[in-house]
Amino acid sequence: MGLTLLELPEPRFPCFKLGNRMGDPRFLRRFAAARRPGTYLRIVEEGDLGAGDVLEILDRPGHGVTIGVFGEAFLGDRRLLAELLVANALSQVWRGWILERTKRT
């Protein structure tokens, strides 16, 4: 089928279900304190991909917004939120959430 092309457009933060699965109501708080969010993968081109396959970075945007920066803005320093808007790959849901909290239009 060919190579798969993926994009990492935005972070993923666990919800209450992970705390339930871990059997620890404080798990999410500890997870957030560790500042290690995950990421969603967007399929740009379908292809073959399996465990152990080598991943190659083809493009890295120059805007400087990383999953780590997003995590810090979301979980810690909300003053960083407006800086996230330069990331074009952000979903409209995240973009709206940020705009609502930064009062930008």
Residue 54 corresponds to which tokens in the numbers above? 């080598």
Tell me, what's the pLDDT at 104? Answer: 58
> Which domains are assigned to the chain?
5-49+59-102 (2.40.33.20)
Q: Which segments in the chain show pLDDT lower than 70? A: 1, 104-105
Beta bridge pairs of residue 42: 7
**Structure token digits, residue 100:** 């609502």
- Pick left, alpha or beta for residue 2 (phi over 0 → left; psi -120 to 50 → alpha; otherwise beta): left
Q: Could you give the CA distance from residue 49 to residue 76 in angstroms, rounded to a whole number?
A: 35
Q: How far apart are CA 60 and CA 11, in angstroms?
A: 16
- Distance of alpha carbon 54 from the chain centroid: 21
Q: Give the predicted TM-score (pTM) of the model.
A: 0.73
